[in-house]
Structure 1
Amino acid sequence: MKTSLFAATVIAASIATLASCKKNNDAPQYARAEAFWDANKVPTQSFTGNAASGFSIIGEKGTKVKFPANAFVDGNGNIVSGTVTVTLKEVLSKKDVLLSGVMTESNGQLLESGGEMLIKALKDGKDLQVNPALGDTGIKVEVPKVMNNKDMGLFVQQKRDQGQGGAGGGGQQPQNPTTWIPAPYYPFGNGPNSYSFTLPGFTWVNCDRFYSDPNPKTTVTVLPAFQDNNQVTDLQVILVFKNISTVITFPFNYSIQKFESYQNSLPIGSQAHLVLIGKDSDGFIQFGTQSITISANQHIDAPIHKATQAEVDAFLGSIQ
């Protein structure tokens, strides 16, 4: 049987195309940093309602917020009427905490979270405030107990106190300039299925408590061990605890040129995932993770490398 030159050419081209496709399919699909963060950031949900009569909203993860009549005032303290826009971010898992950047610590002390959220209100593109005249009868929030079911209290976000928790001492630079503090005067309800409270303001709030562990506390240092010859920026060193709903970052200590936990803040014997994540000069995710058991005065040389999307997704799926 004879094969024409044309047919042979077509067959050869087909084989080359299949080989090329196989080669491309086998190539690692590295994660682009910008696309990764866009796809995984905690979404901002948007609602509208009538400010004069009041209205309620329910978030995608079950957070309920009830706005009574005349709940909003503008920047001059005037009661707002008409249609307002309310936005909501729900942080109700350790994965959400990691991806939101709003970690569970208070001036260097560990917090155990039952859920965080950011509620804001706007009219005509301008930020509104909670009507202070409403007091305890103001905006009511219910947070489902999907992240935790322990007794909690209400915390609010504020600028970090540089004089506490080692946040500004010893050359440490906090990863986040804000921290959590207890809300001193807002009643808090621990129901069978939800936490409930009156919203103190349009800011980040947290159903939280200080984590108590009888074990001795220690300080841990981390030094990234880069596997690729590439400059890495926006680098974060994160600790995701396995048995409690706690996620923290390690500030960078310039005096020792290492990432370092807050002094004597980590319970010896606790188990956690150590996570390093950053962006290289080509725009790809640099990533590394390992399971650790915290020991006294521990130092970790932590590998970090250009990671595939599947690798990062697999880790995120394991810390729900």
Structure 2
Amino acid sequence: MKINSLYVASGIAALMLLGACTKQLKNDPAEAAKANLATSMAAAAPDKDGLALHTFLRANGPAYETYTVSLQESASFTTRSGRKYTIYRNSLVRPDGSPASGTITFSVKEINNAAAMIFADRPTATNTGAQLESYGEFFVSASQGGVPLQLRRDSAIVVQAPAKIDVQRIPMWNGDTSITVSTSGYNYINQLITISTTISANKGIDWQQVTNPASAYALFDGTNGTLNFRLDSLIKWVNCDALMSNPNPKTTVLAYFNSNYNPATNTSYSGEEPTMLYFKPSGINSIIKFYNTIFTPPAGYEGFLSYQNSIPVGQSGTFLAISSIGGQYYADQKTVTIPAPAPGNNYSTITFNPVPVSPSALVALITGMNTK
């Protein structure tokens, strides 16, 4: 989360708060102050350049796959990637808690490579900045006659995925695409006011390691070359990711944009930033998103920084910088080896100069990240 994102929230949540407070405003100065704060928070609407860029990326990214099965007993379906999903009898329930059987429709989105992670804005990193190597990200929903279904407690969808790995188990991670922020301050009569609301995560997604022992790891079966794991919840992103290990000293990377940085990125709290920066470690199925913006930068030093002391010195990889300004896309793709800090510094720097690109050229640059 951006540090300064504690001071804004989504307009929808703020308007709902305003409606709830309306009846009290005439008699309660503290509530009036709270409503005024909510009004200022509502001003942080999505930037039009950011909205255009993210709409473009989603349109070119991975699509949902839809499958219909009959769930009288157990049922299964196999996605285009070759992953097999198995659902057992009575594992799905309706909103009233009764078992769902008969015809069930599943919608599945899978993210399998670096380009898809960028298009869908689903990078791989923990909430502390630790780098993850992905063996697939998954989003599954189920419905019957348009009514959404849930998994019964202690049940799961079993997934079997073709894989070539040399370890026996890989951690599983749950992810949410939104975060809760709280804004606190003292009003004009010295009363502490706190407003909490949910906004889109500028990091793309917030990964947390699964704690349910039955679903915490994907297990490799060497007899048939598959990873096998359980999805114990629907309508939530799940990631099969191994923690990357690099013993080199770590540094903080500051990424400076000498040109074509959209300053609206500094106040974008909707998860739809008009300038973005991604890093792919060489030869690893992983994307790291730099989303923390540099605070009060002078001209020529606008941009992003990594988590503190999180990037290994000497790590090779490819950066992709993307901007949207006034209907024009800009990009700069740069392959680097992360340098050690200069003497006297506690950070390393990389500079970008995004140039105008066509929509098709931007798609090609993103797709090309798969081979970096």
Give the Cα separation in 2 of the matches to 1:229 and 1:92.
30
Kindly report which structure 2 residues correspond to 1:72-221, keeping only aligned pairs within 5 A, or say none: 72-107=92-127, 108-134=129-155, 138-145=156-163, 150=167, 151-158=169-176, 175-176=202-203, 178-184=205-211, 185=213, 186=215, 187-192=217-222, 193-202=225-234, 203-221=236-254
Could you say what secondary structure the match of 2:118 adopts? Answer: helix
Q: Which residue among 57, 64, 67 is the counterpart of 2:84?
A: 64
Please tell me whether residue 316 in structure 1 is matched to residue 366 in structure 2. Answer: yes
Which letter maps to 1:243?
G
Could you say what secondary structure the match of 1:105 adopts? Answer: coil
Q: Once the 2 structures are TM-superposed, how far is the Cα of residue 302 of structure 1 from its aligned partner?
A: 0.7
Please tell me whether residue 224 in structure 1 is matched to residue 257 in structure 2. Answer: yes
Could you say what secondary structure the match of 2:365 adopts? Answer: helix
Deviation per residue, 1:186-240 (Å, 9 max, x gap): 2531123221112111121111122111000111111223259998862211111
Show the counterpart of 1:3: none
Q: Could you say if the C-alpha distance between residues 179 and 230 of structure 1 is closer, same or farther in structure 2, counting changes exceeding 3 Å?
A: closer
Give the Cα separation in 1 of the matches to 2:261 and 2:249.
37
Kindly report which structure 2 residues correspond to 1:232-271, keeping only aligned pairs within 5 A, or say none: 234-253=274-293, 255-257=295-297, 258-271=303-316
Could you say what secondary structure the match of 1:42 adopts? Answer: coil
Show the counterpart of 1:307: 357
Kindly report which structure 2 residues correspond to 1:293-304, keeping only aligned pairs within 5 A, or say none: 293-296=337-340, 297-304=347-354
Give the Cα separation in 2 of the matches to 1:259 and 1:174.
16
Q: Once the 2 structures are TM-superposed, how far is the Cα of residue 275 of structure 1 from its aligned partner?
A: 0.8
Q: Once the 2 structures are TM-superposed, how far is the Cα of residue 74 of structure 1 from its aligned partner?
A: 2.1
Q: Once the 2 structures are TM-superposed, how far is the Cα of residue 63 of structure 1 from its aligned partner?
A: 1.4
Could you say what secondary structure the match of 1:152 adopts? Answer: strand
Kindly report which structure 2 residues correspond to 1:28-67, keeping only aligned pairs within 5 A, or say none: 33=53, 36-37=56-57, 39-67=59-87
Q: Once the 2 structures are TM-superposed, how far is the Cα of residue 177 of structure 1 from its aligned partner?
A: 6.2
Relative to the length of structure 1, the TM-score reads 0.76
Which of 1 and 2 has greater Rg?
1
Give the Cα separation in 2 of the matches to 1:83 and 1:174.
35
Structure 2 residue runs of 5 or longer lacking an equivalent are 1-51, 182-199, 266-272, 298-302, 341-346
Give the Cα separation in 2 of the matches to 1:176 and 1:80.
36
Give the Cα separation in 1 of the matches to 2:306 and 2:233.
31
Identical-residue share of aligned pairs (%): 24
Show the counterpart of 2:8: none
Cα RMSD between the aligned structures? Answer: 2.8
Deviates more, 1:105-114 or 1:118-127: 118-127
Q: Which residue among 324, 327, 334 is the counterpart of 1:279?
A: 324
Q: Once the 2 structures are TM-superposed, how far is the Cα of residue 111 of structure 1 from its aligned partner?
A: 1.1
Could you say what secondary structure the match of 2:80 adopts? Answer: coil
Relative to the length of structure 2, the TM-score reads 0.66
In the alignment, is the contact (CA less than 8 A) between 2:330 and 2:355 conserved in 1? yes
Give the Cα separation in 2 of the matches to 1:255 and 1:208.
32
Structure 1 residue runs of 5 or longer lacking an equivalent are 1-31, 163-172
Give the Cα separation in 1 of the matches to 2:59 and 2:314.
35
Give the Cα separation in 2 of the matches to 1:276 and 1:76.
47
